[in-house]
């Protein structure tokens, strides 16, 4: 196999441009300083090491009391009296109560008090409140009995009316109702093996050079950063075939030698695959520079901060275009021109973890805008807002620097390798948001 080791030849940069005619021969400028802020944040807030398997599962739970409602299937009137009226359950509509996603009425519904609405958006009409007194039937014929709790008037349910649970009421001397509880959900991901090699010849190892006095030391530093930034890209953009199967199956790919190649599902593809582009739990936002205004920004931030962290602050990893967007003034380029509102970003600050950020205030909370080098090109105008408590770093094996790994046949040179076996865990996908600006 041909060697790709760097050699000290008779031509090229090593021979002609690294001799001693520099004013500051041991100083080399680099473009990037904060190369992997996302990986830095993930690795420093929650790292779980010593995993028993490279594939891992995580429990998560969404409190059902946040949203508890179902819809009716036909129009039925209920007068303000003590008579029970039979209403029908609309198939597949229960949310946050027993039978969620199905079309049944359950005994645990008995005793619930519900507001009756024609919709769930601001401006919808409320018709009144009913008490569920009995349930019957199953499947598409599931029905329930209600009594009108208003003192006057008639409540007429329509096909699609919402019954939103507001409490429960039991009669004197009544036995306890039927108990119901939901189950924990399970999500999963896997660790990925990363390897970044470097190699030089023995002659170059001993050479006296300018710029960097040790070529081996320079390459070790360079490849260390390359290793980190490739992990950063994988944690942000990586895809995993286990996420396209029905359930947790090992659909890992194989290499040319039929060895399993496991890959970590990055947070952005996870949001794209499992997130929502609308609704209360929306986490995919498309911003049009030509029309996006301050009112849209406020509405979007309401969804971003509905699950508010204690400090009221969330981290937002931004491409250069996303950083620029919030301060643009032109009519077709930013909020100022579209709505007459000027964004005032806080001064640039340095986080204790070693990256820069600026603060963007909203009525609902503050965003730490963090310049993220890998968010470039197609992701230049992307902003990823994460929920710290629902993101962690998984290590199956501790990262290693493996020195001098090529020794067969008295190899004249040095080959090293950075190796790690790790991934990220993402839970409660609706708490993470991605903004794409076009």
Q: What is the pLDDT of residue 25?
A: 45
What sign for the dihedral angle of Cα 83, 89, 94, 98?
Answer: positive
Angstrom distance (rounded) from CA 295 to CA 415: 57
Q: Which residue, chain included where needed, has tokens 């891992």? A: 56
81 - beta bridge partners?
none
Angstrom distance (rounded) from CA 189 to CA 396: 12
pTM above threshold 0.85: no
Q: Are 261 and 194 in contact (CB under 8 A)?
A: no
Angstrom distance (rounded) from CA 289 to CA 291: 6
* Bridging pattern class, strands 313-318 and 365-371: parallel
Q: Are 83 and 65 in contact (CB under 8 A)?
A: no
Longest dimension (CA), the chain: 101
Residue 246 pLDDT level (bands cut at 50, 70, 90)? low
Q: What are the structure tokens assigned to 424, written together? A: 């990220």
**% the chain with pLDDT above 70:** 86
Q: Is 137 helix (H, G, I), strand (E, B) or coil?
A: coil
Instruction: Look at the chain and count its residues.
Output: 438
* Bridging pattern class, strands 112-117 and 162-168: antiparallel
Instruction: Count other C-beta atoms under 10 Å from residue 404's C-beta.
Output: 11
Q: What is the pLDDT of residue 249?
A: 66
pLDDT at 15 over 60: no
Angstrom distance (rounded) from CA 394 to CA 396: 7
Angstrom distance (rounded) from CA 364 to CA 343: 15
Residue 6 pLDDT level (bands cut at 50, 70, 90)? low
Convert the pLDDT of each residue in 280-328 to its tens digit: 889 999 998 888 888 888 899 999 998 866 678 999 999 999 988 887 7
Range in 49-58, 222-231, 347-356 the model is least confident about: 347-356
Residue 44 pLDDT level (bands cut at 50, 70, 90)? confident
Please report, for the chain, the start and end positions of each structural domain, with discontinuous segments joined by +: 13-60+188-437, 64-168
Range in 7-11, 91-95, 108-112, 376-380 the model is least confident about: 7-11
- The phi and psi torsions of 37 (rounded to 5 degrees) equal -65, -35
Angstrom distance (rounded) from CA 263 to CA 105: 43
Rg of the chain over CA atoms, in angstroms? 30
Task: Give the CATH number of domain 64-168.
Answer: 2.40.30
Q: Residue 249 region, left (φ>0) first, then alpha (ψ -120 to 50), else beta? A: beta
Average pLDDT value for residue range 110-134: 95
Angstrom distance (rounded) from CA 170 to CA 429: 37
Convert the pLDDT of each residue in 142-173 to its tens digit: 899 999 999 888 999 899 999 999 999 999 99
Q: Is 371 helix (H, G, I), strand (E, B) or coil?
A: strand
Convert the pLDDT of each residue in 68-98 to its tens digit: 999 999 888 999 899 999 999 998 899 999 9
Range in 30-34, 272-276, 304-308, 420-424 the model is least confident about: 30-34
pLDDT at 423 over 80: yes
Angstrom distance (rounded) from CA 433 to CA 426: 12
Q: What are the structure tokens assigned to 62, written together? A: 């969404």
Q: What is the pLDDT of residue 135?
A: 94
Task: Dump the DSSP string for 91-130.
Answer: TT--BSSTTTTS----GGGTTEEEEEES-SSTTPPEEEEE
- In the chain, the N- to C-terminal Cα span, in Å, equals 47
Q: What is the pLDDT of residue 32?
A: 46
Task: Dump the DSSP string for 249-261.
Answer: ----EE-TTS-EE
């Amino acid at each position: 196999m041909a060697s790709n080791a760097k050699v000290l030849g008779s031509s090229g940069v090593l021979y002609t441009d690294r001799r001693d005619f520099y004013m500051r021969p041991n100083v080399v400028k680099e473009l990037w300083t904060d190369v992997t802020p996302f990986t830095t944040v993930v690795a420093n807030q929650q790292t779980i090491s010593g995993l028993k398997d490279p594939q891992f599962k995580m429990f998560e739970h969404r409190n059902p009391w946040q949203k508890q409602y179902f819809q009716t299937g036909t129009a039925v009137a209920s007068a303000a009296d003590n008579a029970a009226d039979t209403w029908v359950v609309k198939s597949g509509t229960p949310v946050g109560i027993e039978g969620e996603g199905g079309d049944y009425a359950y005994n645990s519904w008995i005793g619930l008090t519900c507001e009756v609405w024609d919709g769930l958006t601001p401006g919808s009409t409320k018709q009144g409140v009913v008490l569920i007194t009995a349930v019957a039937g199953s499947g598409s014929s599931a029905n329930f009995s209600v009594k009108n709790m208003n003192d006057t008037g008639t409540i007429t349910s329509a096909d699609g009316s919402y019954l939103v649970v507001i409490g429960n009421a039991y009669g004197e001397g009544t036995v306890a109702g039927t108990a119901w509880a939901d189950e924990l959900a399970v999500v999963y991901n896997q660790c990925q093996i990363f390897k970044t090699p470097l190699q030089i010849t023995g002659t170059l190892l001993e050479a006296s050079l300018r710029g960097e006095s040790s070529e081996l030391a320079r390459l070790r530093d360079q490849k260390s950063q390359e290793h980190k930034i490739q992990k950063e890209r994988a944690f942000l953009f990586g895809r995993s075939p286990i996420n396209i199967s029905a359930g947790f199956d090992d659909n890992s790919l194989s290499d040319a030698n039929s060895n399993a190649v496991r890959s970590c599902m990055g947070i952005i593809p996870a949001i794209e695959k499992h997130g929502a582009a609308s609704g209360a739990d929306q986490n995919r936002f498309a911003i049009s520079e030509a029309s996006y205004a301050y009112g849209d920004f406020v509405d979007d931030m309401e969804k971003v901060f509905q699950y508010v962290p204690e400090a009221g602050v969330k981290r937002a990893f931004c491409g250069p275009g996303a950083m620029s967007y919030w301060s643009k003034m032109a009519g077709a380029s930013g909020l100022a021109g579209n709505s007459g509102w000027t964004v005032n970003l806080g001064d640039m600050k340095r986080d204790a973890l070693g990256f820069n950020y600026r603060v963007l205030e909203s009525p609902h909370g503050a965003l730490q805008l963090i310049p993220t080098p890998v968010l470039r090109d197609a992701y230049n105008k992307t902003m990823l807002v994460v929920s710290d408590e629902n993101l962690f770093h998984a290590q199956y094996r501790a990262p290693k620097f493996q020195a001098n790994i090529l020794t067969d046949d008295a190899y004249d040179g040095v080959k090293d390798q950075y190796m790690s076996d790790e991934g990220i865990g993402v839970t409660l996908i609706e708490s993470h948001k991605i903004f794409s600006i076009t």
